[in-house]
């Protein structure tokens, strides 16, 4: 990172109530790329409707955002002061039961797909199930197809055994785009040391979450505490395999977290990481409110002792390398 | 055309019962690009299934075919002795009632869309309706969107007024990918002189059909008769606006022509260009059986007096120019 070039910032998970105002905050915050969730529980055709909504954003705000497909799009975004938007699914529901839809989704620009979202899916077990039976027969086929076309396996909401098996089965490095280590904060969504070791040893990436339910002390988590956790993770897993996946859900009404947790699968309300007493979105910590706060995180990481080069990696260059290697067809 | 380079051959409409054997015939015949119909009456999601079937062909026969997206893909195909496959719809049914699906279809590689297929559609009137009310309100919006993204308006099966209005409304040249002049053979599907004049004057392209129902004397049509018609069309409309769109429906069972004509819209059988007595596909003329016969057509065209340059244009270079200009986003 030369002194003239501002630090590259890549956020590997957001699901906000998208608007011009948020896109302007991305620009102001110098965020060159965001992995955006476009499906939780949607069918294929419902997901296409979400793509159409994004095509509308791309048409209306070309000076702020454009569709990201490759690592080079991040470089263009940084050079132009815009944000490249990369699409992902938090649940494999859009491929329904059809392996042919994997390639179609990649053609439509999808670059990440979680194999399960909290619950058992057709592919893998989610982290809220009581038993984890690992990757299913269909799941094995889908992982191979995702590897072939360049669609990244994301296990952020999957259970441990399923995650370990996905790491083993996938011939390309996978990602946990938004979670933290369970040794720092024991949320069901945070990941065991075994999982994180296997992930990093296989060249996979972890994106640290800034969603309060994944933070020690929740909304009251301090920047210093968060950054010390990152430093310890770097000791354990190697700094090159780490980045950010904020899980920022900005300006969303609470009905959205209910949708995320319940989709159409439950007639009674599931509160997920919340509770009947606090069913809505938690408040962000005061040092990370929105896209304009990434430099605060960078300051905090510098303060716990990361070098300039390590810091550049954590803030964006590590994801850039991973995007470069992950989104094209598999080499013969 | 240098003596070393074989003549470029582009066929702007086929709908065959696709197989390795047909792809090998394309290669043997030196066909560098084919516009392939992937939807007659399909919904969006059914059309996606047809794309998935094609992804399977592309995976299995990479030495023969690959997906075509731009004019340059034709150049690559010619250089590599393969065939670039360009997708089109004969009916706008895959966009359902949703203008957002126009851009999605273009993202999925669709490059031509007929605004109607024989019947009235949501966009335009088909050539078998008794009254032609021209381009609908939705149709005007869709033409503008097709112009924007680079999806070519194809009026092969549309009625005259609708076609003239489409030519007028479209800010980019349109195509009639597969039809002949009605002054040569008065089939309902062949086009009036007025339409063909307006088409060529606006830079649009006509692809001559080799489907027997569009040929003078049907299956018994002679090559010389066909080529003399092309020569007269070149006099009237300018050779640069003409190419081939064979409408080859090779190895299809007769159930397919029934599907093409009836989709799901009719409980009684509509025979279209056929009749109750001969409801199936007609036999091809003996000088154009399959993809290996294009050079016979070229010989016939040479025999009626076309120069080498004109011939190269008719056989492929005119479509190449049109593809180059038509498939990208509209310039500002």
- pLDDT reported for residue B331: 78
Chain B neighbors of A107, CB-CB under 8 A: 107-109
Domain of A211? Answer: 9-109+173-323
State whether the Cα torsion A214-A218-A224-A229 is positive or negative. negative
Give the SS3 label for residue A125. coil
CB-count burial class (<10 Å; 0-12, 13-18, 19+) for A24: middle
CA gap A282, B131 in Å, rounded: 61
Tokens read off for B280: 């199936």
CA gap A137, A135 in Å, rounded: 7
Closest chain B residue by Cα to residue A56: B100
Residue A163 lies inside a defined structural domain of this protein: no
CA gap B175, B112 in Å, rounded: 9
Q: Between these two residues, B306 and A273, which has the higher pLDDT value?
A: B306
Chain B neighbors of A48, CB-CB under 8 A: 44, 101, 104
Tokens read off for A31: 């965020």
pLDDT digits 0-9 by tens, B112-136: 999 999 999 999 999 999 999 999 9
The pTM of this model reads 0.90
Whole-number Cα distances in Å, B295 to B30, B94, B331: 9, 35, 36
Candidates B46, B94, B104: best to mutate against A (most CBs of A within 10 A) is B104
Q: Could you say which of B56, B101, B108 has the minimum Cβ distance to residue A107? A: B108
Q: For helices A223-237 and A193-201, what crossing angle results, to 10°?
A: 60
As a whole number of Å, the end-to-end CA separation of chain A is 33
pLDDT digits 0-9 by tens, A175-210: 999 999 999 999 999 999 999 999 999 999 999 999
Is residue B315 within 8 Å of residue B29, measured between CB atoms? no
Residue A2 predicted with pLDDT over 80: no
Residue A4 predicted with pLDDT over 70: no
- pLDDT reported for residue A204: 98
Residue A153 lies inside a defined structural domain of this protein: no
Q: Could you please report the per-residue DSSP string of A1-66?
A: --SSSPPPEEEEEE-----HHHHHHHHHTTEEEEEEEEESS--HHHHHHHHHHHHHHHHH-TTTEE
- pLDDT reported for residue B209: 98
What is the ipTM for the molecules in this complex? Answer: 0.84
Within chain A, what is the greatest distance between any pair of CA atoms? 55
CA gap B107, B114 in Å, rounded: 17
- pLDDT reported for residue A1: 45
Q: B107 — phi, psi (to 5°)? A: -60, -35
- pLDDT reported for residue B4: 63
- pLDDT reported for residue B12: 98
CA gap A42, A54 in Å, rounded: 15
Q: For helices B294-303 and B223-237, what crossing angle results, to 10°?
A: 70
Q: Could you please report the per-residue DSSP string of A159-210?
A: -HHHHHHHHHH-SS--EEEEE-BTTT---TTSB-HHHHHHHHHTT-EEEEP-
Q: Could you say which of B55, B56, B107 has the minimum Cβ distance to residue A108? A: B107
Is residue A300 within 8 Å of residue A287, measured between CB atoms? yes
CA gap B29, B77 in Å, rounded: 13
Candidates B103, B105, B109, B329: best to mutate against A (most CBs of A within 10 A) is B103
Residue A160 lies inside a defined structural domain of this protein: no
Is residue B45 within 8 Å of residue A44, measured between CB atoms? yes
Residue A190 lies inside a defined structural domain of this protein: yes
Is A52's CB within 8 Å of B108's CB?
A: no
Q: Could you say which of B45, B52, B103 has the minimum Cβ distance to residue A45? A: B45
Chain A neighbors of B58, CB-CB under 8 A: none
Residue B148 lies inside a defined structural domain of this protein: no
Closest chain B residue by Cα to residue A109: B107
Give the CA count within 13 Å in the CB-facing half-sphere of B144.
Answer: 8
Q: Could you say which of A53, A55, A103 has the minimum Cβ distance to residue B55? A: A103
CA gap B142, B115 in Å, rounded: 9
Reference B25, options B284, B303, B231; nearest CA is: B284
Residue B87 lies inside a defined structural domain of this protein: yes
Residue A132 lies inside a defined structural domain of this protein: no
Chain B neighbors of A52, CB-CB under 8 A: 98, 100-101, 103-104
Give the SS3 label for residue A81. coil
- pLDDT reported for residue A62: 98
Give the SS3 label for residue B225. helix
Quick one: average pLDDT of A49-62?
Answer: 97
- pLDDT reported for residue B1: 45
Helix (H) or strand (E) run with residue A67 in it: strand A65-67
Candidates A38, A69, A103: best to mutate against B (most CBs of B within 10 A) is A103
Whole-number Cα distances in Å, A175 to A126, A129, A158, B312: 15, 21, 11, 52
**With pLDDT > 70 as the criterion, what percentage of chain A qualifies?**
98
Q: B251 — phi, psi (to 5°)? A: 60, 20
CA gap B65, B80 in Å, rounded: 10
pLDDT digits 0-9 by tens, A212-246: 999 999 999 999 999 999 999 999 999 999 999 99
Q: Chain B interface residues facing chain A, Cβ-Cβ under 8 Å?
A: 44-45, 48-49, 51-53, 55-56, 98, 100-101, 103-104, 107-109
Is A104's CB within 8 Å of B48's CB?
A: yes
Parts of chain B with a pLDDT under 70:
1-4, 332
Chain A neighbors of B55, CB-CB under 8 A: 100, 103-104
Confidence of residue A273 (pLDDT cuts 50, 70, 90): confident
A-B CB pairs within 8 A amount to 41
Is B45's CB within 8 Å of A49's CB?
A: no
Closest chain A residue by Cα to residue B50: A100
**Cβ neighbours around A131 below 10 Å, total:** 8
Q: Could you say which of B51, B100, B103 has the minimum Cβ distance to residue A104? A: B51
Counting the structural domains of chain B, the total is 1
Q: Could you say which of B52, B101, B103 has the minimum Cβ distance to residue A104? A: B52
Q: Could you please report the per-residue DSSP string of B148-181?
A: HHT-EEE-TTB-HHHHHHHHHH-SS--EE-S--B
Residue B121 lies inside a defined structural domain of this protein: no
- pLDDT reported for residue B267: 81
Q: Could you say which of A52, A56, A108 has the minimum Cβ distance to residue B108? A: A108
Tokens read off for B163: 């076609």
CB-count burial class (<10 Å; 0-12, 13-18, 19+) for B241: buried
Alpha helices in chain B (DSSP H): 20-28, 44-60, 71-80, 100-107, 137-149, 160-169, 193-201, 223-237, 254-262, 294-303, 308-312, 318-326
List the CATH number of the domain containing B197: 3.20.20.140
Is A100's CB within 8 Å of B49's CB?
A: yes
The minimum CA-CA distance between A146 and chain B, rounded to whole Å, is 14
Is B109's CB within 8 Å of A107's CB?
A: yes
């Amino acid at each position: 990172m030369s002194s003239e070039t501002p630090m590259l910032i890549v956020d590997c998970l957001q699901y906000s109530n998208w608007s011009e105002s948020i896109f302007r905050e991305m620009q102001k915050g110098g965020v060159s790329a965001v992995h955006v969730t476009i499906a939780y529980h949607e069918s294929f055709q419902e997901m296409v409707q979400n793509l159409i909504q994004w095509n509308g954003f791309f048409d209306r705000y070309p000076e702020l955002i454009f569709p990201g497909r490759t690592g080079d799009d991040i470089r263009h975004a940084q050079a132009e002061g815009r944000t490249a938007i990369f699409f992902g699914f938090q649940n494999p529901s859009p491929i329904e039961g059809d392996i042919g839809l994997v390639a179609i989704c990649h053609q439509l620009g999808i670059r990440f797909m979680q194999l399960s979202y909290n619950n058992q899916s057709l592919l893998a077990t989610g982290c809220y199930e009581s038993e984890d039976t690992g990757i299913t027969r269909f799941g094995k086929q889908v992982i191979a197809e995702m590897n072939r076309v360049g669609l990244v396996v994301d296990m952020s909401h999957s259970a441990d055994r399923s995650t370990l098996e996905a790491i083993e089965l996938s011939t390309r490095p996978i990602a946990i785009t938004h979670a933290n280590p369970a040794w720092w904060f024991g949320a069901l969504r945070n990941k065991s040391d075994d999982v994180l070791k296997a992930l990093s040893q296989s060249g996979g990436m972890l994106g640290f979450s800034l969603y309060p339910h994944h933070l020690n002390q929740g909304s009251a988590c301090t920047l210093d505490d968060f950054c010390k956790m990152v430093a310890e993770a770097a000791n354990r897993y190697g700094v090159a395999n780490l980045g950010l996946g904020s899980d920022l859900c900005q300006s969303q009404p609470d009905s959205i977290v209910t949708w995320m947790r319940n989709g159409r699968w439950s007639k009674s309300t599931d509160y997920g990481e919340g509770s009947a007493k606090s069913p809505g979105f938690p408040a962000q910590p005061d040092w990370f409110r929105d896209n304009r706060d990434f430099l605060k995180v960078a300051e905090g990481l510098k303060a716990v002792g990361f070098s300039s080069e390590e810091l550049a990696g954590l803030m964006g260059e590590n994801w850039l390398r991973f995007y470069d290697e992950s989104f094209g067809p598999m080499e013969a």
